Amino acid sequence: MIRVEARLYATLRKYQPEGKSSEPGEALVCELGEGTTVQEFLEKELGVPPGEVKSVFVNGVSRSFDHVLSDGDRVGIFPPVAGG
């Protein structure tokens, strides 16, 4: 098993598992199986549907959805953003 810290930002906060964190933006700590990819983490652990996430940063570096997570990783998950 590995442990990762994740933060869901903006509209993705609605996928924050109940009881995992009391403050918006606070990291949630999750235990995952070895070899878990970002996509598997998003879908299976957090229940975030495909297409709702625009970018994922692991330890401050933009990563693809097939990136394999490691013990101690810090994951930031962001939705598409529009502005004007």
- Amino acid in the structure at residue 83: G
pTM over 0.85: yes
Per-residue confidence band for 69, with pLDDT thresholds at 50, 70 and 90: very high
**What separation in angstroms does the CA of 12 have from each of 1, 18, 27, 65?**
25, 13, 13, 16
Decide: 48 and 15 in contact? Cβ < 8 Å.
yes
Per-residue confidence band for 27, with pLDDT thresholds at 50, 70 and 90: confident
- Amino acid in the structure at residue 66: D
Q: Give the Cα separation of 76 and 10 in Å (integer).
A: 11
- Give the model's pLDDT for residue 81: 81
Lowest mean pLDDT among 20-24, 59-63, 66-70, 71-75: 20-24
- Give the model's pLDDT for residue 24: 58
Who has greater pLDDT, 71 or 20? Answer: 71
